[in-house]
Amino acid sequence: MDIKILPRKLSGTVTAVPSKAEAHRKLICAAITSERIPSKVRNVSFSADVCATLDALKAIGCNFEVIGDSVIFHKFIPAGEITIDCRESKETLMLMLPLVCCFHSISATFTGSNSLIDESLENLIRVLSSKGLKTDYNGKMPFKFEGDFPSGECYAQSYLNISGLMLALPHNNTDSMIVVSQSDASRAFSDMTAEVLREAKILTAFANGIYIIRGGQAYSLIDTDIGGDFSLASNFVVANAISSNIRVTGLDAMSPQPEKAIFEIIRTTQSSNCKAFELDASDIINLVPILAVYACSLEGVSRINGIKTDFYDCRTLITATCDMINSVGGNAKAFTDHIEIEGVKKLHGGVIDPHDDYRIVLASAILSTICHEPVIIKNCECFTRYYPTFFIDFRRLGGIADISLN
């Protein structure tokens, strides 16, 4: 699928789509709550990844029904031997794997795309194996885990490892500690997990690189809403800042999502007469492409630092982001863990290869609003997994985008 976009400013109102990151966590907490009492999660967007988590919850013994945009959990009775198909959802795998290991007598087989295999998964498998669980993992899908995950001290590196353990360990009877063994591990998403847990009446504490998880706690996420996705909405927020007139609704200023920083970044640059910025993006990796687009509209050379983590392929992200800018006449330079973008007066348009990254597709569409010639995004199907209605919203705001199937 290719998309040709004509240069055009956008105008109107768009409602932010619900956050997948919040959905994964709140659905899991609500499902565990239903061991005792029914629970309800509203404003769910049923993307492929969220559906993978719902199917995983069904596999482990959760009973629920979907009514409109709500999921109502009736009863959770942990199953015995189960199979969980994670498809292509990394969060489903990394959040569900520790959880099922905390339910006694469960033997779980995990299937899905081999693209899920990476260093963060192997680190989590080492953590679980070190606690006495048995696995036949050999570097590919599927693999099996069985045994009981005991309380105690765990060492983790990836923020997804930390989040999965945080969701799982309160179910154990005694206290645990999660030790963050790398100083550059991002806390942003584990902090979001802690915030969701607090809403579910689960207490955690963090100090000196250690999360303390009290055992024997009862989940109580009875009635909750999924907030709008700041990461996806940031594309329209930036469009508004550089050329357009868009009102974005459905975002909660109290959201635990780290990407809400986009508003502060824009406010700061605008208060400095739209001069270039320098920032650390280690907690907001998803914003890197759209921040690069924003930098094109500013005066001077902006620098986006901290593009490194064990979950994202940041080398590809750096390359794809710079290629996007340079393909339309901009000036972006790639370095090992950062990008420099020079603001330019004119972007002419061109052909963009998104490198199979939905963030590049969305940012490229916004980049077109400050180009003078059409922008063509090649092989852009990847956006449909994350924001399938993006170009519907884009056209409602006055954008002109023609889709052609290859």
Q: Which residues of 245-264 are buried (b: 16+ CB within 10 A; e: fewer)?
A: ebebeebbeebbbbbbbbbe
Please state, rounded to an integer, the average pLDDT across all residues of the chain.
91
How many angstroms separate the CA atoms of 180 and 187, rounded? Answer: 9
pLDDT for 310: 45
pLDDT for 104: 59
Give the mean model confidence (pLDDT) for residues 84-96. Answer: 94
How many angstroms separate the CA atoms of 207 and 194, rounded? Answer: 13
Which residue do the tokens 């983790």 mark? 156
Domains 2-17+229-404 and 20-216 share a fold: yes
Whether pLDDT at 159 is above 80:
no
Confidence of residue 105 (pLDDT cuts 50, 70, 90): low
Confidence of residue 187 (pLDDT cuts 50, 70, 90): confident
Does the bond joining 170 to the residue before it have cis omega, within 30 degrees of 0?
no
Nearest by Cα to 137 from 89, 101, 190: 101
CATH code that applies to domain 2-17+229-404: 3.65.10.10
CATH superfamily of 20-216: Enolpyruvate transferase domain (3.65.10.10)
How many angstroms separate the CA atoms of 312 and 358, rounded? Answer: 13
Q: How far apart are the first and last CA of the chain?
A: 5
Inter-residue contact 149 to 102 (CB < 8 Å): yes
DSSP 332: E
Nearest by Cα to 70 from 115, 40, 110: 40
- pTM metric for this prediction: 0.88
pLDDT one-digit tens code per residue, 37-47? 999 999 999 98
pLDDT one-digit tens code per residue, 343-370? 987 899 999 999 999 999 999 999 999 9
Whether pLDDT at 181 is above 90:
no
Question: For residue 208, what is the enclosing H or E element?
Answer: none
How many angstroms separate the CA atoms of 379 and 210, rounded? Answer: 43
Question: For residue 107, what is the enclosing H or E element?
Answer: strand 107-111
Whether pLDDT at 341 is above 60:
yes
Q: Parallel, antiparallel, or unpaired: how do β-strands 331-334 and 339-342 relate?
A: antiparallel
Delimit the domains of the chain by residue range. 2-17+229-404, 20-216
SS3 72: strand
Give the mean model confidence (pLDDT) for residues 263-289. Answer: 94
How many angstroms separate the CA atoms of 148 and 82, rounded? Answer: 15
SS3 84: strand
Tokens coding 375:
């922008």
Nearest by Cα to 272 from 262, 264, 283: 264
pLDDT for 372: 95
Which ranges of 201-276 does DSSP label H, i.e. alpha helix? 230-242, 261-271
Radius of gyration of the chain from its Cα atoms, rounded to whole angstroms = 22
Which residue do the tokens 């056209």 mark? 395
Helix pair 261-271, 288-296: axis angle to 10 deg = 20
Q: Count CA atoms closer than 13 A to 13's CA, side-chain side.
A: 4
pLDDT for 75: 86
User: In sequence order, what are the residues at sequence separation of 6 or more whose Cβ sits closer than 8 angstroms to the Cβ of residue 38?
Assistant: 72, 73, 74, 75, 222
